[in-house]
Amino acid sequence: MNILGIESSCDETAAAVVAEGRILSDPVASQIKLHAEYGGVVPELAAREHLSNILPVARQAMDQSGIRLGDIDWIAATQGPGLPPALMVGYHVAQSLAFALDKPFMGVNHHEAHLYSPWIDPEAGVLDATAFEPNVSLIVSGGHTMLVLVEEPLKHRILGGTIDDAAGECFDKTAKLIGLPYPGGPVMDRLAAKGNPKAHDFPRPLLKDPGLDFSFSGLKTSVRYFIQKHPERVESASKLQDLCASVQAAIVEVLVKKTIRAAERTGVQTITASGGVSCNQGLRKALQEACDSKEMQLRIAHGRYCTDNAAMVAMLAAWKIQAGASPQTEEEGIRAGWRLETGVTR
């Protein structure tokens, strides 16, 4: 079974070939430099860039895999959620390829692809399905922050999510307020590593609330007021590092404590994490420490599969096909606002 997967939901154009459950290629063309000048992703520009990158990236994936296009059995692509003009490029290129090759096609939910990415073994390039354990999964990206109970492969229940900004959005927006370049998350991560996380006490939104939802817009606002009141706190490298470390500590503490709470409440012993923010060194360390102290297992997506990629799209499709999923009809289009729902998705 050879699958070509395509991803274009935001600012990465990606394609991957998975053959007999193994990743043979997964090139990604990032648009970070293009959008940096605007301080965020400009959907129209993203779509144009996807248009010029999609075929070269797909060709690169095919060439690196050593598989001929005619030997591809299924084509899968991200159907949503994401930026509509960006999604349209990858989804319709993939659908057209399936049509031209007369092969079955599958649209994939982007969050569901992130959800199972921690099970990709980066060394072997396979989905480590035999290691699967019921888990609470933290999906933390630029577009969403969710806690999901995964009872068995492809069967999950949403436990909570953000009621306003996503964690990645909070990183990016506060970084912008501080004057850091886009995307702020990784830059803040680097600066935070050298700062004092206790230098400033920022709010931990909804931490005392017993529920499993998140809220990050208030934190962003408190950082804005803090900088207005103390402009000198961004004026030297060490003060900037302390500020970043303090903001990151607030985000990380809420994410970690709510994730552990969700695991305790549902009685699972394994925690997984995925999405761009799961690259964050402070989050990875804090999650590991929390899991160690609770004697829970932790599986965080490998760095290569944290941010957007097509390997996770093709892998999820492979898992679903193996479980008997049916191809999608040609009438379907993108689903930009597609939310991950509770249920069995085979």
Does residue 172 bind Zn ion (CB under 5 A)?
A: no
> What is the smallest separation between the CB atom of 245 and ligand KG4, expressed in angstroms?
12
Upper half-sphere CA count for residue 100 (Cβ side, 13 Å): 9
Our CB check for Zn ion shows the closer of 65 and 274 to be 274
Pairing mode of beta strands 135-140, 22-25: unpaired
Does residue 141 bind Zn ion (CB under 5 A)?
A: yes
Our CB check for ligand KG4 shows the closer of 206 and 300 to be 300
Tokens of 55: 């075929």
Please list every residue from 2 through 61 that binds ligand KG4, using CB under 6 A.
10
The answer to whether 168 and 308 are in contact (CB under 8 A) is no
Instruction: Report the length, in residues, of the chain.
Output: 346
Closest to 313 (Cα-Cα) out of 61, 140, 83: 61
- What are the residue ranges of helices labelled H in the chain? 32-36, 43-65, 84-101, 110-116, 167-178, 184-192, 217-229, 237-266, 281-294, 303-306, 311-322
Using CB under 6 A, which of 186, 195, 197, 205 touches ligand KG4?
Answer: 186
Interaxial angle between packed helices 43-65 and 84-101, expressed in degrees from 0 to 180 and rounded to the nearest 10: 30
Our CB check for ligand KG4 shows the closer of 67 and 275 to be 275
**């965080």: which residue's tokens?**
300
> What is the smallest separation between the CB atom of 119 and ligand KG4, expressed in angstroms?
16
Using CB under 5 A, which of 308, 315, 320, 325 touches Zn ion?
Answer: 308
In DSSP notation, 290-302 reads: HHHHHT-EEEE--
Does residue 253 bind Zn ion (CB under 5 A)?
A: no
Our CB check for ligand KG4 shows the closer of 69 and 336 to be 336
> What is the smallest separation between the CB atom of 2 and ligand KG4, expressed in angstroms?
26
> What is the smallest separation between the CB atom of 308 and ligand KG4, expressed in angstroms?
4
Does residue 142 bind ligand KG4 (CB under 6 A)?
A: yes
> What is the smallest separation between the CB atom of 167 and ligand KG4, expressed in angstroms?
7
> What is the smallest separation between the CB atom of 334 and Zn ion, expressed in angstroms?
15
Does residue 279 bind ligand KG4 (CB under 6 A)?
A: yes
Using CB under 6 A, which of 165, 172, 242, 253 touches ligand KG4?
Answer: 172
Task: Provide CB contacts within 8 A for 168, sequence distance 6+.
Answer: 140, 141, 142, 143, 145, 185, 275, 276, 277
> How far apart are the C-alpha atoms of 23 and 126, rounded to whole Å?
6
3-state secondary structure of 115: helix
Does residue 168 bind ligand KG4 (CB under 6 A)?
A: yes
Our CB check for Zn ion shows the closer of 165 and 308 to be 308
Does residue 90 bind ligand KG4 (CB under 6 A)?
A: no
Tokens of 122: 């980066």
Contact residues for ligand KG4, defined by CB under 6 A: 10, 141-143, 168, 171-172, 183-186, 189, 275-277, 279-280, 307-308
Per CB under 5 A, residues contacting Zn ion are: 141, 308
